[in-house]
Structures are given as structure tokens and as C-alpha cells.
Chain A
Amino acid sequence: MSETVASVSALIVKTLLANPKVPRDINGSSKIVEDLAFDSLAVMNFVMEIEDTLDVSVPLDRLADIRTIDDLAACIVSLKQAS
């Protein structure tokens, strides 16, 4: 199955909304740290959940460049394509 940025982004939003503390109005352009009020550990733990769902590993240094949910989705799609 080939994921697109849009499909991965939708999956990330769905995963995030399973957490009741996350604001309800998030979308692909929401900023992970600012809009979701995630600290560094929460970001890493949440990415781990997504990794398991999509069977991909996101190296921590790639997270430094990621601001929005769409950024994360694009990163995951590129990692999946590379593998």
C-alpha cells in the first residue's frame, strides 16, 4: 500500500484526536509543539505511536525540521519511499 502525504496526515490527525487533551480543531497545518502544547518527550512518544502504525522509523534528527503535522507526514512518506 502506498501512502500519500494527505493520507498519512489524516492518519496522524486521527491518532492525535484519540488523546482527549489534544484540541479538537487540529488539521494538517497545525504546529505540533505550539498548537498541541506538546513538550519534547510528548512529541517523541507520539511519533513512536505513528511509527508503529505505519511500520516506519523516524530518526530523531529528522524531527528537528518538523513543525506541522503535514511536515511529519511528508517526512514519513519520504522515509517509506526510501525503504
Chain B
Amino acid sequence: MSIFSKYEGLASALSAVTADGGRNPFNVVIEKPISSTVGLIEGRETLLFGTNNYLGLSQSPAAIEAAVEAARAYGVGTTGSRIANGTQGLHRQLEERLCTFFRRRHCMVFSTGYQANLGTISALAGKDDYLLLDADSHASIYDGSRLGHAQVIRFRHNDADDLHKRLRRLDGTPGAKLVVVEGIYSMMGDVVPMAEFAAVKRETGAWLLADEAHSVGVMGEHGRGVAEADGVEDDVDFVVGTFSKSLGTVGGYCVSNHAGLDLIRLCSRPYMFTASLPPEVIAATMAALTELENRPELRVRLMDNARRLHAGLQAAGLRTGPQASPVVSVILDDVAVAVAFWNRLLDLGVYVNLSLPPATPDQHPLLRTSVMATHTPEQIDRAVEIFAVVAGEMGINRAA
């Protein structure tokens, strides 16, 4: 018996996706980025609507220069973890920059956003504690809950009353209660009602962790995310985020006003047992953060573009997520239709993400798009037009 025999179901599902000569959607190669919004795929210039590169900063000239200079000055790697091999000055600088940006006293930087959730959630919620997770939480949050030893309870997506009910059931139970929500949910682009969750947190004495991976640089007057936009930053005990969305690089962080965060450095395995961020990534991230702070117009343009794409897809008769946000998903009913639709979009020069159940809410396949501040209105209109053409070809556009 093969060690891979347990994946026979997965293999046949993948075969079904590629059966009619379609591509493997999880193996698309962007041969070369031409700009933040256009990449070379299958030798063709293709509009990129699936990179989550919200501000276009992966191609920022300032960040690129900073990376080059840092590599020349410090080398290209750290060759180990900060606990075992030492912290470099740049790590400290980046943590101080993030403290200043978020107006928080403490910061821990991780090597990826995934590890930031894994490392904070698993270490904060211990054996006698309770983790309360939104049902639509990202895999990194679920995985963090499995790495730790807390009891894990799900509440209904974006439903603060449902959380309240589940916290009430725990009345009198010893142990800390850590609630985890996301700023913007990455599958449907819907925004958390953070003020409602903050009110529940205040009333029940729970702790609140907000993963603002998709909302930092996107929401709030200064780009600090949904907690800033809703005016409830003081109620959020821990903000976790990533550099790989609006900041265009790679890495993750947790910021907090609780001094205890520094102790987590000594018990968070995803922090302790992996190589720390290399100098060029740190330098590029700090340069991108400066741009994020100094160019608020990027956020304005991003949200204008999000509304244009959301409205355009709806006008084309497609079913989308509820809110205009930088993630706009087209919701379909049938996996085979979604696969064919996705292939046809790529044929016609638009790259989006194909998301399949069970990674999606409610078992629906999604064509997940992400918009950028650097998209031009013409690029968005062109993408919408191509969506409309394919929907027409496949006969799935509702009466517009």
C-alpha cells in the first residue's frame, strides 16, 4: 500500500478539475511581473486580479532600493532563529517601527503571516484556556488552535451575539477566554463588525485578538485596520498581521500593549524554531511601511477601485460577496462551472483565484479577485468586461 493512498480522493478531485484539458489552478506560473497589475502568464500579458498586493508595493521602487542596499550592507540571510542565533539590529528597528505605526508598546515579528497566527494563538491560549474562533477563520488560526492546548469553540461568522451566547455558557469556568476575529475575511471580503465584538469583550472580560492581515493598509484613517476605522483599538488586546499583503513583502507580526507579549518569544514554537526574516526583506518592509504612511491616497484609490470592481461584476449579473472591499468574490454554485469559468478568464487575459470547498464558506466555489490601488479604471473595466463575456458564454449571468 502506498503512503500516498490516503490521497486517492484528492487525486481524483484534481483529475476532475483538469479532465477537459483545463489547467491545474494551483500550479499557475506567473513567469514575470511586468508591473504590479500585469504579469506574464503562458507567454501572454495578463491582468493580475488575484495577488492580494493591495497597494501594489511589491513593485515599489523605494522598497526595491532598500532591499538592494540592505543585501549589500548586511548579506542575504540570517541563517537561523533569533532565539538560537541572535537578533539583528534590523529586527529591532522593524519592531520599533511597527510599535510606532500601531501606537502599541510591544511587537514581535515572525517570518510569515501564517506563523504569526500560529505562534501567537498557540502560545497565548494555554491548556486551561478557551479559544473562541469565528467559524470562517483562516487556516492559520485553526492551525494555531491545534498547535496549542486550549479548548476551541467556534462561533457563527461575524456574529457578536452568537459569541456572547457561547461566552455566557462558559460563565464561571476557570481559564482565560481569547476571542479571535479577522479584520477582512479573505474568502468573501466581508468586514468584521469590530465595535460589536469589542462591546462583547468589554462586557465579558474576554481577551480580543484581531488578525488584520487583509485590512492593515486598507482601512482606517492611518491604515491601521478595522479596529482603527471603528474607533475601538483600545479594546483589541493583540493585533496580528502580515507583510505579504498591503506591504508587498513577506513576514508577520503581533503588536500589543501587554508587556507579557515579550514572554511569548520564549514559548512560541513558530517563533523560536524557524529562521528569522532576512535583512533585505526587513529593509523593503520598512520602506513599504513608510510609503503606506506617507501616501494615504493609495487607500482612497484602492477603495474606489474596489467599489468599481464590485459594482461592475454585480452589473454584469454575477453574484458577489456582500461588501465592496479589496477582496471581491464571485460566488458560483457548481465546481465544474467554476473551473471552466476560471480557465476561460485566463484564456482571455485575467488572472483570479479559484477557491474550492471546503476552503470556502457555505460549500460554494468562488472566483476570488483582489483589487489594487495601482489598477487603472480601464484595467478594472476590462476585467469586468471579460467576466461578463465568459458569464454570457456559460449562460450563468442572472438578469442584470
Known: A39-B357, A39-B358, A42-B358. A59 touches B153 (CB 8 A): yes
Find out whether the CB atom of B357 lies under 8 angstroms from the CB atom of A59.
Answer: no
**Within 8 Å of chain B (Cβ to Cβ): is A41?**
yes
Name the residue on A nearest B151 (C-beta).
A59
Q: Kindly list chain B residues whose C-beta atoms are within 8 Å of the C-beta of A41.
A: 357-358, 363
8 pairs from A and B in contact (CB 8 Å cutoff): A41-B358, A42-B363, A45-B135, A48-B154, A57-B153, A57-B170, A60-B145, A61-B152
B6 within 8 A of A: no
Query: In this assembly, does A2 line the interface, its C-beta being within 8 Å of a C-beta of chain B?
Result: no
Of A39, A42, A56, A60, the contact of B154 (CB 8 Å cutoff)? A60
Determine which of B152, B169, B170, B358 lies in contact with A60 in the assembled complex, contact meaning CB atoms within 8 Å.
Answer: B152
> Which B residues touch A45, using CB under 8 A?
135
Q: Is B166 part of the contact surface with A, judged by Cβ < 8 Å? A: yes
Chain B residues in contact with chain A, CB under 8 A? 130, 135, 145, 151-154, 156, 166, 169-170, 357-358, 363
Give every chain B residue within 8 A of A56 (Cβ-Cβ).
169
Please report which residues of chain A, range 29-75, place their CB below 8 angstroms from some CB of chain B when the two chains form the complex: 39-42, 44-45, 48, 55-61
Contacts of A39 in B (CB 8 A): 357-358
- Of the candidates B130, B153, B170, the one having the most CB atoms from chain A within 10 angstroms of its own CB is B153
Contact B135 A59 (CB under 8 A): no
Give Cα A55 to B166, complex, Å: 9
- Report how far A83 CA is from B169 CA in the complex, Å: 9
Closest Cβ of chain A: how far from B143's Cβ, in Å? 12
Residues of B within 8 A of A61 (CB): 151-152
Per a CB cutoff under 8 Å, which of B130, B135, B145, B357 touches A44?
A: B135
Establish whether residues B166 and A57, one from each chain, have CB atoms under 8 Å apart when the complex forms: yes
Which residues of A approach B to under 8 Å, CB–CB?
39-42, 44-45, 48, 55-61, 83
CB neighbours of B358 from chain A (8 A): 39-42
The number of A-B residue pairs with CB atoms under 8 Å apart is 32
- Chain A contacts for B154, CB-based, 8 A: 44, 48, 60
Going nearest first, the 3 A-B pairs with the smallest beta carbon separation are A59-B151, A41-B358, A60-B152
A-chain residues with CB within 8 Å of residue B357 when the two chains form the complex: 39, 41
CA of A40 to CA of B135 in the docked complex: distance in angstroms? 12
> Which single member of B135, B145, B169, B363 contacts A57 (CB below 8 Å)?
B169
> Contact between A55 and B153 (Cβ–Cβ < 8 Å)?
no
Interface centre among B145, B154, B169, B357 (most CB of A within 10 A): B154
Residues of B within 8 A of A57 (CB): 153, 166, 169-170
Chain A residues near B130: list those with CB within 8 A.
59
Q: Given A39-B357, A57-B166, verify A48-B363 contact (CB < 8 Å).
A: no
Q: Give the docked Cα–Cα distance between A50 and B169 (Å).
A: 15
The chain B residue sitting closest to A47, CB to CB, is B154
- B104 → chain A, closest Cβ, in Å? 30
Alpha-carbon separation in the docked complex, A45 to B151 (Å): 17
A60 to B154, CA, bound (A): 8
In the complex, residue of chain B having the shortest beta-carbon distance to the beta carbon of A58: B153
On whether the beta carbons of B169 and A59 are closer than 8 Å, the reply is no
Q: A41-B358, A57-B166 are in contact. List 4 more A-B contacts (CB 8 A).
A: A42-B358, A42-B363, A58-B153, A61-B151
